[in-house]
Structure 1
């Protein structure tokens, strides 16, 4: 009796998992997560360098066969199980639990590299308020081919050097902001995204309108969209299109699953997935017009070709675009608008990734972490761990470390291979038909047959082909087109890359060896979903039919016995 009272009091202290305050919070959180820096600085450059409008063909192929099907699958998995990116696999297919761990490890790597870019953006934003933009005139070290004097050392010797205190302070500021954005879980996250997920669109619209009115804008846009059909025969273009879809849709890492797990069971995730995917892709296309209209203006002013000023990744955000806005009237205004947009685009992606990791770990240990102030303390420890692990990236030579870490630890090939494992686990082991029944039970709409076709065949085959091609055509990282890393650095990079994807077969093999029984019994056990999962209407009808049939047989037997 006393033990029961103690247990009851202890359970009262465990906080409820909770749901989104409204459907709008869910939509904005997912939109903020999937619409990030890659939409602005990677997609436009890929279009330009891969045949302009021709690039949209492989991009749309990957969107239809991989992006949307996996997006819907992950949203439905979270909404159905009400679990995070790891524990959802424990309930659906224990054999594939390693997919959850691998996804969370990639997210951890992303959190450690992504926020460095936000620190750079905050630093540039601060200098945008100076009387003269430092990158506007020659004679400054900002005009080197490197990101800036503050982001990379000017010598050709890649020594780590001293800590750059200005960037370090910006990094501390970004971690503090991210901490308080999610420190109360979805209660605080759901409110913050109203601003962080919407205001970047205001900035993007302002920059788009301004860019289209500049001389030379048409020249830049033509370079962006002019089709070159010959590129369709280039396998590299198809690989880059697939990688862009996996990155921009945030699939295979558990983000969408975790965000969907805070939805009520009857939320229409089928419709939500379609509109969110459409929003993501449209944002990428529109961002391309905003970026290349300004680059066209820059080329026009300098009397050079657009390809001479076009950059991708950090080079676009911290070299090409700042130099372009410096040539405009009111350069400070446009610099502030641009870096605010970069900050907000990256900020909600960063703190949503953090929220996903915290939620996934909390779901694994609910009795420990769902207690007053336990979650806040765990989040603080997580932030401190990431911060101290990345100090080497804010040194004088930190850009070398950053590029190595970003190239290998957060590479697209890992995401592509995870999609193969995920599709096989859900499409074949758990069952594509069962997943469609679950979606119909939650939304009232049975998914189009193309989703079953993708989950079972198209997605794993296309992803596997892309992964194999990426291995065949692998090129080691060359920093800034001239510096080759030492052999030990490449080995470290491969260790980071393999650390995530090897978790999937490693975890499956470990579980098969750990449990008792014959190999067939162990396989069947690990491929069976949790018996406590919610029953769909179809399953309840089947159980009812079997029950009625059994009761009828019992009555017949009793009746025959009485007659005898």
Structure 2
């Protein structure tokens, strides 16, 4: 096998471990950490939910994160190239993951744009006395229902259109600057700022009247919930979606690390940092909700604690009642912008890297090309009066079907069919301080696929029997199931062209694990 120095094209690299960790944390910590975790925890046993959550982190989140890291670092490429080097036809699985990123990017940018608008609104508390009417009415101008005709609606909303364009300009600029000067530098600046800003917000929320009532609601355990299989499925789903695994991000980021870079140690830091931020968000959200409930003379359980309603309806109502509300509103929505922006950068980096590697494009050409195309689709689809409905539908189907299916395929083909587990484990242990044991095979080869297959089957049956959110079935056929079909079609279309970039691969260290004896003795 040829050496890497003579055959492989020069590849951008993170400057060090800190830059990589902050970039990976920036991808994992996103909008869902702030508004999804508190609601999921509350709905699934409160404090008792932390038990299956921790088990899911150890048996699914970290093992799949390690699988992503091993694939990217070992095979030195974005998702399509890494899977192509496992087995040539598996390139299509890589493009399936790229297509997931394409669809997520076009609607995720819209949520970042909403947060940017509300950051500006915070200084004057412009949402007034009825944040719900302001968000859904004046800000989004949402129609009363979703029918098939909404697919063709192009009534633009200026309050979304302008910040959305600015978000795309900013993210294109960051990606065009490169891995170090753009991606890494943005995360090195934004992630510490995000942690400081959100910690300040949480500390203030904990001192508000009624905060204890909110925390009691979150942490009072309902132990009987542990006997409900749906609670365990919810825990695995939360860990899985919040770590940015199985759709190319961590594979791509790992490919930018130097050859002799510690991989498993930083993986643990990223995983526990992500979960730590979710717990921090839970503290702040429930403390603030407890304050709002006490101020309004309501029960905490009667307030919305999940989804976009938490971020853009409940929290504006909270900061309107808080002392120095404008300041803390700016902190909250500024945190949302930073968390969302760093995640958006990581999502688009997957697409950019794949295009550069397959079609031999320069970073600038790939970035500008995808930015213009996806930015246009994003603006046309999500800055209109029906943008929220389309976003909600696409997000539900892409996350619950696309990403889950992607992870199942990864485990089945990489671990079961082609038995690359020993090689990947050996690679992680050869470069890392934290040694990955044989438990990893059990997790990625059995626990993860079984849990995800159950989740996928359950979700598909539910969507067939119950139209999502009661939306028009014809609309769901286009916007929901059509999104899933687009993932498959896109994967096929991008796999078919001839590979134009340099495709030589030199493994490092030079240890192809080809024989049964080597596989058994890969790591003892």
Contact 2:77/2:252 (8 A) holds in 1? yes
- Partner residue of 1:381 out of 369, 374, 379: 369
Q: Which residue of 1 aligns with 2:158?
A: 165
Q: Which residue of 2 aligns with 1:523?
A: none
Equivalent residue of 1:42, what SS?
Answer: helix
User: Which of structure 1's runs of 4+ aligned residues deviate more than 6 A?
Assistant: none
1:350 & 1:269 partners in 2: Cα distance? Answer: 23
2:155 & 2:88 partners in 1: Cα distance? Answer: 47
Structure 1 pair 217–164 and aligned structure 2 pair: CA distance change class (3 A): same
Displacement of 1:161 in angstroms is 6.0
Equivalent residue pairs, number: 497
- Partner residue of 1:405 out of 388, 391, 394: 394
Q: Which residue of 1 aligns with 2:176?
A: 183
Q: Which residue of 2 aligns with 1:174?
A: 167
Displacement of 1:41 in angstroms is 0.2
Structure 1 pair 444–123 and aligned structure 2 pair: CA distance change class (3 A): closer
Deviations 1:488-523 (A, max 9, x none): 43344112124336778x79xx99xx9xxxxxxxxx
2:160 & 2:411 partners in 1: Cα distance? Answer: 41
Alignment of 1:421 with 2:422, yes or no, is: no
Contact 1:404/1:477 (8 A) holds in 2? no
Contact 2:197/2:331 (8 A) holds in 1? yes
Q: Which residue of 2 aligns with 1:321?
A: 315
Contact 1:54/1:228 (8 A) holds in 2? yes
Q: Which residue of 2 aligns with 1:274?
A: 268
2:143 & 2:479 partners in 1: Cα distance? Answer: 25
Query: 382-391 or 209-218, which moves further after superposition?
Result: 382-391
Query: 28-37 or 175-184, which moves further after superposition?
Result: 175-184
State the TM-score, normalizing by the size of structure 1: 0.82
Q: Which residue of 2 aligns with 1:433?
A: 422
Alignment of 1:221 with 2:215, yes or no, is: yes
Contact 1:98/1:503 (8 A) holds in 2? no
- Partner residue of 2:109 out of 115, 135, 153: 115
Displacement of 1:445 in angstroms is 5.6
Structure of larger gyration radius: 1
1:531 & 1:436 partners in 2: Cα distance? Answer: 23
Alignment of 1:21 with 2:15, yes or no, is: yes
Q: Which residue of 2 aligns with 1:255?
A: 249
Structure 1 pair 350–440 and aligned structure 2 pair: CA distance change class (3 A): same
Counterpart mapping for 1:96-495 below 5 A: 96-130=90-124, 133-138=125-130, 142-144=131-133, 147-153=136-142, 155=144, 160=153, 162-187=155-180, 188-366=182-360, 369-370=361-362, 375-390=363-378, 391-408=380-397, 410-428=398-416, 429-443=418-432, 446-474=435-463, 476=466, 478-479=468-469, 484-495=471-482
1:502 & 1:464 partners in 2: Cα distance? Answer: 22
Displacement of 1:295 in angstroms is 0.4
Unaligned runs of 5+ in 2: 1-7, 498-502, 519-524
1:156 & 1:503 partners in 2: Cα distance? Answer: 30
Structure 1 pair 392–446 and aligned structure 2 pair: CA distance change class (3 A): closer
Displacement of 1:538 in angstroms is 5.4
2:432 & 2:117 partners in 1: Cα distance? Answer: 46
Structure 1 pair 397–184 and aligned structure 2 pair: CA distance change class (3 A): same
Contact 2:75/2:505 (8 A) holds in 1? no
Deviations 1:212-253 (A, max 9, x none): 000100100111111112222333323322222221111111
2:356 & 2:287 partners in 1: Cα distance? Answer: 46
Structure 1 pair 398–223 and aligned structure 2 pair: CA distance change class (3 A): same
Contact 2:233/2:451 (8 A) holds in 1? no
1:113 & 1:233 partners in 2: Cα distance? Answer: 36
Q: CA RMSD in A?
A: 2.8
Query: 415-424 or 434-443, which moves further after superposition?
Result: 434-443
2:402 & 2:66 partners in 1: Cα distance? Answer: 20
Contact 1:182/1:351 (8 A) holds in 2? yes
Deviations 1:142-172 (A, max 9, x none): 4429634221336557753621122111111
Q: Which residue of 2 aligns with 1:47?
A: 41
Unaligned runs of 5+ in 1: 1-13, 515-529, 546-564
Alignment of 1:57 with 2:51, yes or no, is: yes
1:342 & 1:229 partners in 2: Cα distance? Answer: 32
Q: Which residue of 1 aligns with 2:28?
A: 34
Equivalent residue of 1:447, what SS?
Answer: coil
Q: Which residue of 2 aligns with 1:525?
A: none
Equivalent residue of 1:149, what SS?
Answer: helix
Contact 1:99/1:503 (8 A) holds in 2? no
Contact 1:439/1:446 (8 A) holds in 2? yes
Displacement of 1:532 in angstroms is 4.4
1:135 & 1:318 partners in 2: Cα distance? Answer: 10
